[in-house]
Chain A
Amino acid sequence: MSDATKTRGLTRRGLIQGAGAAAGLAAGSGAITGFPAIHAADPVTLRYLGTAVNQSGEIARKVKEDLGITIEYIPVVTDEVSKRVVTQPNSFDIVDTEYFSLKKLMPSGNLLGMDAKRIKNADRITPVFTKGEVAGKKIGDQGTAPKKVFYLEGQTSTKFAGSPTEWITLIPTTYNADTLGIRPDLIKRPITSWKELLNPEFKGRASILNIPSIGIMDAAMVVEATGDYTYPDKGNMTKAEIDRTMKVLIEAKRAGQFRAFWQDFNESVNLMASGETVIQSMWSPAVTKVRSQGIACTYQPLKEGYRAWATGFGLPKTLSGRKLDAAYEFINWFLSGWAGAYLNRQGYYSAVLETAREHMAPYEWAYWMEGKPAEQDIKGPDGTVMEKAGSVRDGGSFEQRMGAVACWNSVMDENTYMIRKWNEFIAA
């Protein structure tokens, strides 16, 4: 970083620290009084672009109550988020996007590096993001691990920095470790390895997700589990490695291994709940949803580890003035605990664990984060019982789950080739 930027940053920092502290105070106090007067006088609306996953009405309502900021959700699918950021950067004020998308988003120059000094809890963000560690232990960093794309060289730079800087690409909202979902009542034996996904025993009853960049990594986990091949980086394959992985998938498909492929949350829930499939790649809340229908479904931890993902807030370069202040204020509020607790209670993980803990009951924290048996019924955000007292979270504690991450969702250098091969797989 040049000296010029440093000075600029420093002067502004001084100016902003006061404002940030005031905003933090307002958010922290939670009382009706203490809003920055400006918001009360002239309400700000933030257009929040993201997938529907994180866009809850509860959060918007609470933000309005605490900060006076109106959140206007623009819910689209993951791919559409990236498309919007690249092609219509003026159509939103804050974006919630996946870290793996950053490789294509940052070069477009449409996102701004976020000033760490304006993020009150920036230094309390879990080391999963900043260092790639859980409880002091390094975790898998294959693919687009957030630590590789967390910092920028400068505020308007499009290059990721190798070491921590004060410019952050995305402030984490949610992240999780993904694995296979299974129907224990129909499989009736323990499942311990990714290779079971392509085990002929489950012919016609397995499924994989039809999102090429994620599907191929699940397939790579299977290939490694069978001992066929060990990838230097599953998240960034060479053409030969893509060919090898696709060959395995195509053979399985031709042999009738897959019942269907799924593309969205509800499809995966329906496949599993209806018994069309008994083993498939799945997302955590989908497993919860199947279970809430009274159907046994396990988010099975596997010995090869998890495939992780993370999303975070980014700001468009065009944002300025009051809206920019409001965006920072919203992000600070988001990290201050209420939202984190809300997300943790759905099975996701939040960026600043300590603040979220303050907003969770001890028994909730013990169940969701420490992997302990639930002391009482675990309720979802809407009050429905998600888990009965005594049950234990699949995969255990935060350390056990995030600590066993093997790779991260990613965009490969050979992405174009991979997409072509994936289309070939679908046509096979």
Chain B
Amino acid sequence: MTTALDQAASSLPEAVVPAAPAAGLRSEERRQRRLAYLQAGPLALVFLVFFVVPLALTLVVSFWEYNEYEIIPAFTLQNYADVFEGCLSGPDLCTTFRTYLSTLKFCLLGWGFTLAIGFTVAYFVAFHVRSTTMQTVLFLICTIPFWTSNVIRMIAWMPLLGRNGLINDGLTGLGLIGSPIEGLLYSDFSVVLAFVHLNTVFMIVPIFNSMMRIDRALIEAATDAGATPWQTLWSVIVPLSKPGIAIGSIFVLTLIMGDFVTVGVMGGQQIASVGKVIQVQMAYLQFPAAAANAVVLLGAVLLVIVALTRLIDLRREL
């Protein structure tokens, strides 16, 4: 680790030199550029120490051997082979693919619902609420659930959804159902419900932000040009809200992909998630195996984000 840090530290000032075009710059410009790098330095250092180095360590450890009580610095691909054990043979899907498919399913469902709800809420607050005070108030109301921890927000569903919970008792009491609906709790349904409940706000905030930047004159222009409200929504507002949608989507997708608490609590521990696999391995001191899984997960999340940025050029839109 020391060497990695040293190298990084020594490469920092060097990076300044090649970054600056060699010729044609006046000394004043060069000085300002150096100043800019200096100003970015602290953040770069924080990133280096708390992000790059741990990530590099994870990557390195994922290639190490291990036993019950120690990790052995010897190169092996076994951890990755274990992750993908049985994936190329056999009629059944292997554990890893099955787990990722399940995670992907929750990602899509969670993303779809949070987007639909988040967009609607943001649209209402941004365009239908006229007074700024009211907008602020409503916007703050959206954040109220964050005053309690997300585990509590999850557990709060249980008395509602359980076999003898409020909903089942209510429906049976009204004579609408004969026996309790089992699938309300500890099922895909409850997991998606919790994801939507927990993550919609991450969709609302960036979309709302994008919508507030839309020039109202554009909407007037669309109406003047004879566009129906739906056409305005689809051809003007949605395209202009794209950056917000993209940022919200990245939030929601990465949160769901790495989640294991919600899936565990709401799925009754019966539904696999990548995070849970990693947690179990960490608990049994199988750090290299967990690191290998983490690297694969990181790769999967990066792929999703690359795909998203292909759809929208975030930097340009911002």
Question: Cα distance A420–B289 when bound, in Å?
Answer: 10
Which A residue sits closest to B164, measured CB to CB? A275
* Least CB distance, A105 to chain B, in whole angstroms: 7
* Least CB distance, B249 to chain A, in whole angstroms: 26
B68 in contact with A107 (CB, 8 Å): yes
B69 in contact with A262 (CB, 8 Å): no
Cβ-based interface call for B281 (8 A): yes
Which A residue sits closest to B82, measured CB to CB? A420
Question: Cα distance A253–B287 when bound, in Å?
Answer: 28
Cβ-based interface call for B285 (8 A): yes
Cβ-based interface call for A300 (8 A): no
Which A residue sits closest to B101, measured CB to CB? A427
Question: Cα distance A275–B180 when bound, in Å?
Answer: 12
The stretch that binds A, out of B25-33, B170-178, B263-271, is B263-271
Residue of B99, B163, B276, B289 with most partner-chain A CB within 10 A: B163
Cβ-based interface call for B284 (8 A): yes
Interface size on B, residues (CB 8 A): 34
* Least CB distance, B184 to chain A, in whole angstroms: 11
B277 in contact with A416 (CB, 8 Å): no
A423 in contact with B280 (CB, 8 Å): yes
The residue from A103, A260, A274, A427 contacting B98, defined by CB atoms under 8 A apart: A427
Task: Give A50-82 as 1s and 0s: 1 = Cβ < 8 Å from B's Cβ atoms.
Answer: 000000000000000000000000000101101
The residue from A83, A263, A270, A422 contacting B158, defined by CB atoms under 8 A apart: A270
* Least CB distance, A294 to chain B, in whole angstroms: 15
The DSSP consensus for interface residues of chain B is loop
Measured between beta carbons, the chain B residues less than 8 angstroms from A213 are 284
Measured between beta carbons, the chain A residues less than 8 angstroms from B268 are 258-261
Question: Cα distance A203–B294 when bound, in Å?
Answer: 35
Cβ-based interface call for B85 (8 A): yes
Task: Give B158-188 as 1s and 0s: 1 = Cβ < 8 Å from A's Cβ atoms.
Answer: 1000111100000000000000001001100
Q: Which residues 236-283 in A have Cβ within 8 Å of B in the complex?
A: 253, 258-263, 270, 274-276
Question: Cα distance A138–B70 when bound, in Å?
Answer: 35
Cβ-based interface call for A108 (8 A): yes
B185 in contact with A104 (CB, 8 Å): no
Question: Cα distance A149–B261 when bound, in Å?
Answer: 35
Measured between beta carbons, the chain A residues less than 8 angstroms from B269 are 210, 260-263, 426
Measured between beta carbons, the chain B residues less than 8 angstroms from A276 are 162-163, 185-186
Q: Which residues 385-428 in A have Cβ within 8 Å of B in the complex?
A: 411, 415-416, 419-420, 422-424, 426-428
Question: Cα distance A105–B284 when bound, in Å?
Answer: 12
The residue from B70, B163, B272, B280 contacting A275, defined by CB atoms under 8 A apart: B163
Which A residue sits closest to B93, measured CB to CB? A427
Question: Cα distance A57–B158 when bound, in Å?
Answer: 31
The residue from A86, A422, A428 contacting B280, defined by CB atoms under 8 A apart: A422
Sorted nearest first, the 9 A-B pairs with minimum C-beta distance are A260-B268, A427-B272, A79-B283, A261-B269, A104-B68, A424-B95, A104-B69, A210-B269, A108-B69
Give 18 A-B contacts (CB < 8 Å), ordered by A residue.
A79-B283, A79-B284, A104-B69, A107-B69, A107-B70, A210-B269, A212-B284, A253-B270, A260-B269, A270-B158, A274-B162, A274-B165, A411-B68, A415-B68, A416-B289, A426-B276, A427-B99, A428-B98
Q: Which residues of B contact A (CB under 8 A)?
A: 68-70, 82, 85, 95, 98-99, 102, 158, 162-165, 182, 185-186, 264, 267-272, 276-277, 280-286, 289
